[in-house]
Structure 1
Amino acid sequence: AEVPRLGSICFHPSLLPRHRGGSAINWAIIEGDRETGVSVFWVDAGIDTGPVLAQRPIPIGDDDSAGSLYYGRIVPAGVGLVLDSVDLIAQGKAPRVVQDERLATYEPLCRDAHARIDWSRPAACVHDLVRGCDPQPGAYAVRGASQLRLFDSHRVDTPTAAAAGTIVVCDAHGLIIAAGDGAVRFGKARVEGTREKSAAAEAAAALGLRVGERFDI
């Protein structure tokens, strides 16, 4: 079998060694990071553990979702970084910077097991979870036997005295739902078992939900 003479490189959508694993973009947002980035590293026997060849930082905006961050900034930056890395290899100038294991984190694939919304948590944490799971797997709220996937998350500055999980507003601008210390607005939603997102108020109405009703904690 042929073996690459100069070794193999791999692209990863985080600033390694932070957020190793297959859902790096999701977890950077879910964990409230203000910055992520792209890395090109030399492949070794581990998962995203090889020496780093090049990196480029990328800011995470307050309302970025995993989708907007990936398509809007990660992909363009990643393409450029890979091309620059190939040039460095061709010139014989490609570095091999050993990753600092003291700074390393690894998270599993972001799945439904991580995506249920706990409304008792601070509004910032709810906001980060929803946008980190947008578009996949889709963070979800539970009310009895029904599930509602929520998307297009935005923090709401207006304080609310409503209990966590209570629908405070349901109108053309979306659903505003109380969290542990504030509220979050969601512009889009999808009823579990359906394929398409719709306006959040429409999706809520399809489940018979209205202002004052409360999702399960």
Structure 2
Amino acid sequence: MTSRPRLVFAGTPEFAVPALRACVQSGCDVVAVYSQPDRPAGRGRKLTASPVKQAAIAAGIEVRQPESLRSVDARNELAAYAPDLLVVVAYGLILSRSVLAIPRLGCWNVHASLLPRWRGAAPIQRAILAGDRQTGVGLMRMEAGLDTGPVFLERRTPIRSDETGGSLHDRLSVLGAEVLGEGLRQLIAGELAEPIAQSDRGVEYAHKLDKAEAKLDWNTPAISLQRKVRAFDPWPVAETRLAGERLRIWSAQVMEEATSLAPGTVVKAGVDGLDIATSDGILRILEIQRDGGRRMTVRDWLNARPALADSLLGEQA
């Protein structure tokens, strides 16, 4: 291209902030940022600007926050910016065909999976839950379907055995900004190749997380439960009930020894952790949080209640 592309960015959470910065640093003319309306947050439920809105204001970029882009007025407002390109990263709104048709060069999306695996709302957590060994990010041209568009570029990264939803989120946020920055560089230089259509094989949908999923079902294998603990950190956080109270589980490991005890039975309770039988193996809980309390090690939890360890043995979680 011979001139700076006019770019509108649409995003909302912290995941999208590095991508916005990549747009600003690319040499494109970022003429506006779209983000979700301010929402109540914190104990005081005070209206709070999204991380993307805050980053846009700090960069001196005009911000728009429509409830939706379905109305003619909202679409006309977007069209008035005369964008060459709309970049969408975790915006939170479905874009209609009429919106996708506004930018001259179409709409790009940064998606946190290796498409077509894990299309949808929660690709990071679903990859961990499934035991995937690698994931990545893709730069995609948007279509009306859910994450079905052809892919310009992608970057791969291994999923570590101790990876949490939070740590993988942060790594893919940075990787997504890198792949977007490279795509914009190639666009400006006239080097961007046509995107490659996704395969129709291996399609998986990453359904939105539900708090009801957080409860640990001890009639499943220890490795599946450990993946859930990792995937649901920092939200919604895995949980179980023990000693008459709800415990949120922040850290756990799979033990090598077997047990013949019924799933959910406390096998051992001590300074090393809390061992619980599953349908296949033992899961050792290492870090917990009581309702209204702080995160703590099982060691500290038991030290504060000396009689608890013995009473837990044989209890059903």
TM-score normalized with structure 1 length: 0.86
Runs of 5+ consecutive residues of structure 2 not aligned to the other structure: 1-78, 85-103
Query: Cα–Cα, structure 1 residues 76 and 147, in superposed 2: closer, same or farther, change >3 Å?
Result: same
1:120-162 deviation per Cα after TM superposition (whole angstroms, max 9, x unaligned): 1111111112211112111111359732221222221122333
**Alpha-carbon separation, structure 1, partners of 2:263 and 2:112:** 34
Alpha-carbon contact 1:37-1:56 (below 8 Å) kept: yes
Say if 2:138 is the partner of 1:51.
no
Corresponding position: 1:196 with 2:294: yes
Aligned residues: 212
Is residue 2:274 matched to residue 1:172?
A: no
Partner of 2:222: 123
The residue that corresponds to 2:315 in the other structure is: 213
Contact in 2 for aligned 1:85/1:94 (Cα 8 Å): no
Report if aligned partners of 2:243, 2:312 keep a CA contact under 8 Å in 1. no
Distance 1:175 1:97, change over 3 A: same
Structure 1 unpaired stretches of 5+ = none
Residue equivalent to 1:39: 138
- Structure 1 runs (4+) deviating above 4 angstroms are 201-206
Q: For residues 1-217 of structure 1, what are the structure 2 equivalents within 5 Å?
A: 1=79, 2-4=82-84, 5-71=104-170, 73-92=171-190, 93-143=192-242, 146-191=245-290, 193-194=291-292, 196-203=294-301, 210-215=312-317
- Alpha-carbon deviation of 1:212? 2.5
Distance (Å, rounded) in 1 between the aligned partners of 2:269 and 2:188: 58
**Identity level (%):** 33
One-letter code aligned to 1:214: Q
> Which amino acid is the alignment partner of residue 76 of structure 1?
V
State the shift of 1:171 in Å. Answer: 2.8
RMSD: 2.3
- Greater RCO (Cα-Cα under 8 Å, separation 6 or more): 1
